[in-house]
Amino acid sequence: MRCLLTTVLFGSKLRRMKATILPILLLACGLAFGQKFQDVSAKGSPVSIGIKHDYADMGPYAAVRNNSSKVILAMVAVVRMTDEHGRVVPCFSYMDYAFKIGVLAPQEERFACLMDPANEGAKVTSVEGAVLFVQFDDGTTWGDPAAGKELLAARPQKLTFLKNLVETYYESGEDAFATLLNEPTPTSPEYMVAACLKSDAQYEKIAAIDLAKKRLAAAQEWRALGIF
């Protein structure tokens, strides 16, 4: 499975559902979410958000869909889950495709947030989601600029980290590269890059350094275009 690390989940652990859960249970759970889910994105949003349940080893999750005719480079969304005790868990999803698998094409869907209640075992009774900010591949944006500020501001750090990774590999070797790849602390911009590099390299069955070079080249192209 490709890297799903896009989220900051408050009040619960961000985790994958165990593979031992039967698909039929996932389906039933997904339908329950679907009946209670509400997309509260601002009017005119180019992206919709909904519930999907198509991974055998993971429970229902929120997914975003590009309903516009333009290609999307980045977005920020939030999903709020309320459990049977009235506790609300917000999950903020920061999706910067300049450093991931590529842009979000028109009508394409991608993962946004897992659906974890505040306490494991608690029943989620309602879910609402909203797309807060979108950046298109031409640099134009939609939504609340404040919501996208942190994501956009992290790009220079991510680009520097990718450069350091590639330079370290050629200057100091594979072991030094691996050490640097495992060095970032969780929630840091560098960690988001490193975690997805490792996960996606394994998924694509290629060396992490080869994927790092590809992603560095892609990010440098966006930089040259003045996108960031």
Interatomic CA distance for residues 59 and 25, integer angstroms: 9
Domain span at residue 204 reads: 154-224
Q: Verify that 32 and 141 share a domain, yes or no.
A: yes
How many contiguous H segments (helices) and E segments (strands) does the chain have? 6, 9
Q: What is the pLDDT of residue 118?
A: 62
For residue 164, tell me if it sits in a domain: yes
Whole-number Cα distances in Å, 124 to 22, 62, 85, 87, 181: 19, 14, 9, 9, 36
Q: Verify that 86 and 174 share a domain, yes or no.
A: no
Q: In the sheet where 61-66 sits, what is the strand order?
A: 47-52, 61-66, 109-114
Q: Which two tokens stand for residue 27?
A: 């389906």
pLDDT, average across residues 75-81: 95
Do the Cβ atoms of 7 and 93 come closer than 8 Å? yes
Count of structural domains within the chain: 2
Q: Verify that 42 and 135 share a domain, yes or no.
A: yes
Q: Verify that 134 and 97 share a domain, yes or no.
A: yes
Q: Verify that 179 and 81 share a domain, yes or no.
A: no
For residue 118, tell me if it sits in a domain: yes
Interatomic CA distance for residues 224 and 160, integer angstroms: 15
For residue 1, tell me if it sits in a domain: no
Do the Cβ atoms of 208 and 166 come closer than 8 Å? no
Q: Which two tokens stand for residue 225?
A: 């275009």
Do the Cβ atoms of 59 and 28 come closer than 8 Å? no
Q: Which two tokens stand for residue 196?
A: 């997805």
Q: Verify that 78 and 167 share a domain, yes or no.
A: no
Q: What is the pLDDT of residue 225?
A: 94
What tens digit of pLDDT does each residue of 166-188 get?
999 999 999 999 999 999 999 89
Q: What is the pLDDT of residue 5?
A: 59
Q: What is the pLDDT of residue 1?
A: 61
Question: In the 3-class helix/strand/coil scheme, how is 122-184 assigned residue by residue?
Answer: CCEEEEEEEEEEEEECCCCEEECHHHHHHHHHCHHHHHHHHHHHHHHHHHHCHHHHHHHHCCC
Q: Would you say residue 30 has pLDDT above 50? A: no
Q: Verify that 18 and 125 share a domain, yes or no.
A: yes
Q: What is the pLDDT of residue 31?
A: 36
What tens digit of pLDDT does each residue of 126-173 get?
899 999 999 999 999 999 999 999 999 999 999 999 999 999 999 999
Q: Verify that 73 and 30 share a domain, yes or no.
A: yes
